[in-house]
Amino acid sequence: MNYEPAPNPVPPRQMALPVAPTAYVTPLLVALNVFIFLLETLAGGSHDPCVLIRFGAKFNALIQEGQYWRLVTPIFLHVGLFHLLFNQYALWILGRDVERLFGSARFVILYLLAGVWGNVASMLFVEAISAGASGAIFGLVGAQLAFLWVNRERLGELGRQQSLNLLVIIGLNLTFGMAVPGIDNWNHMGGLVAGLLLGVILAPRYAVAFFPPAHLTVVDATPLHRRLWFVAGVAALTVALVPALAGLAPTGPDDALLLRLCARRLG
């Protein structure tokens, strides 16, 4: 019986993901955070509660009076040099990766919304003044984990290993936050959950596209303009819910006295 040998199998072709070559927003955020910290220092020091309140820290009593912007401004404030350096190191390492994976526009959306919802969680469960980019950074961790899950079939074993590494990082940081007093773990958890949910919707979903005559490439099957309805919906829901949620925020018996002292000191 005559037969022809089977042709040699074609080796699987590796195609690069269409990620951005450079992260532009992350360095700007780091520079902005450092600049604002210098302003805090010149104004009297970032450990001074009056300085923090003046610069826009999360302070429940004032949020209840309608200063809802205090759920945004704490993202850019830090308390102490160690807090600043630790967060900027994490932002520099993680932020560039997430920005390149998601693109700069989606990165900004993730960072800000995760930071806001981290502060909403802090507002609901933490009475103390708080500030920091930690909630937004945890949101980036959640978004990266969501990206790996959404693209798990294409990323294979590499994606599973990276997901496991991220879960370990999340577990260690939340455990550290529970063990060390003064760390706003509710902010971390709020940002993490927001980043996970936002990441599932906003994460690029990669597919192989064929372009004649015989060119295969990896493309994002869900560009941002197809998800703007979701972003607008989340932003509108946030604006609608914050006034009602602010009424549930705990406040301290000395908040009014602190505000009077700060008003007298800072004019």
Residue with tokens 């914050």: 242
Across the chain, how many H-helices and E-strands are there? 10, 2
Alpha carbon separation from 189 to 72, 105, 111, 138, 139 (Å, rounded): 17, 23, 14, 8, 9
Which pair of structure tokens corresponds to residue 42?
């010149």
Alpha carbon separation from 64 to 51, 118, 140, 210, 227 (Å, rounded): 20, 17, 28, 55, 32
Local structure of 12: helix, strand or coil: coil
Long-range contacts of 21-26 (CB under 8 A, 24+ apart): 21/100, 22/100, 23/95, 23/96, 23/99, 23/100, 23/104, 23/107, 24/99, 24/104, 25/95, 25/99, 25/104, 25/107, 25/108, 25/111, 26/91, 26/92, 26/95, 26/96, 26/99, 26/107
Residue with tokens 């500030």: 131
What does the alpha-carbon distance between residue 53 and residue 126 come to, in Å, rounded to a whole number?
16
Can 134 be counted among the known catalytic residues? yes
Q: Which of 134, 163, 215, 225 is catalytic?
A: 134
Q: Which of 46, 122, 130, 188 is catalytic?
A: 188
Can 188 be counted among the known catalytic residues? yes
Q: Which residues are marked as active site?
A: 134, 188
